[in-house]
Structure 1
Amino acid sequence: MSRNRMSGSGMSGSRAEAASARRSVVGRARRPQRSRTPLVVAGSVVLAVVALFAVYTSSTTGDAVASARYDVGDPGIGATAPDFVLPAAAGGGPAPTVRLSDYRGETVLLYFHEGLGCQPCWDQIRDLESDPGLLASVGIDQLLTITSGPQDLIAQKMRDDGLTAPALADTDLAVSAQWEANRFGMMGNSRNGHTFVLVGPDGVIQWRADYGGPPNYTMYVPGTQLLDDLRAARQAG
């Protein structure tokens, strides 16, 4: 009897140990694994930063330097500037029309703007005229402004604001469309935006900035900022 009780006790002990071992295994199986989510998120962030840096680098180097402040339309940097002939509403001197190729040998800044109804556009001309040394400091010899609208109303606006730069009337937007200056503005294709194109003495485009597009639809750029963008593009090129 004593042997049987001992044997039963031993079997009970073995079963208890086996049950304890199973609970230990189950406990280890149920123990939560260390989450890898933070590592995955961190890796994704690093990849996103690298991708954004690559996009930024590609957008600020190369033949057409695109700043965060402006687009670059076509024709762009390195292209031969398409010639044009436009009537001079004001500032054209004795000649009733102005031809771009007449300025061959000079560095010309073309300013395509929205025109009538956009006072900041005229303020832009006024501020560029008020400091002749500003444009001269980057080698610009001549400023030509181009907008749509009736020639007589453009001439009247120039007189009212006391402006003297040549104001060319592109009434049907034919020249502006050829230069894609009416692609970057708040008025769709019906008006110009706020575009500057620098044409070198050889007739080749040295710089272009279309400021008038979304999301800001800029209609005025401080002169110092304009020249900073021009210098930055020259250095990157």
Structure 2
Amino acid sequence: MTDPLRVLILDDDFRVGELHRAIIDEQPGFIALEPVRSIAEAREAIRTAHPDLLLADVFLPDGDGIALVQDASVDAVLISAADDAPTVRRALRSGALGYLLKPFERRALTGLLDRYSRYRNILAGDRPVRQDDTDRALAILHGSGEPVSVSRSATEQLVLAALGDGEASAAEVGERVGISRATAQRHLASLAARTVVEVRLRYGATGRPEHRYAART
């Protein structure tokens, strides 16, 4: 089983930090670390807890969240009410993977987390990557031009497209789409319950039969 991705939240408003923490903890495949409220606390948490993703405000009591992102060796997204173009450009120059403007709808954050998980899945491990792997990972991360509030139905459409005219296992679908096997399985099960796809069993010489999925015509 793949370990959940660990997210560190940096926001000087504890209510905002706890709100984001609750959203992250409800997202499959993610776990929120204890939120921090200052640059100093964030640096210590990065050093000791090794988060996979940092969600950082821009203006903190003891410094600049963008400068922290530039210095820290961790994937990061800036979340701020600062809506001026120079701040956004500076955030992206720092190496941030994205920028969310406050206030935002819940689905904006869940959509971003979903895409980040798929991005990480494509670029997992130490294996060499091809150019199309890189292109696909970046397209997924940035939503291929779609807003960060991409809905679950969009992921289901990708799952259906991955099935095509043939059949595939959840693991194969996950590999094609760039999502985890568990996420692909969840979407396939939902589609099967609505009779959008059908489930077929493939029996091998030993062990349990493999579940195969095919789109209904």
Does TM-score exceed 0.5, indicating one fold? Answer: no
TM-score range, shorter chain: under 0.3
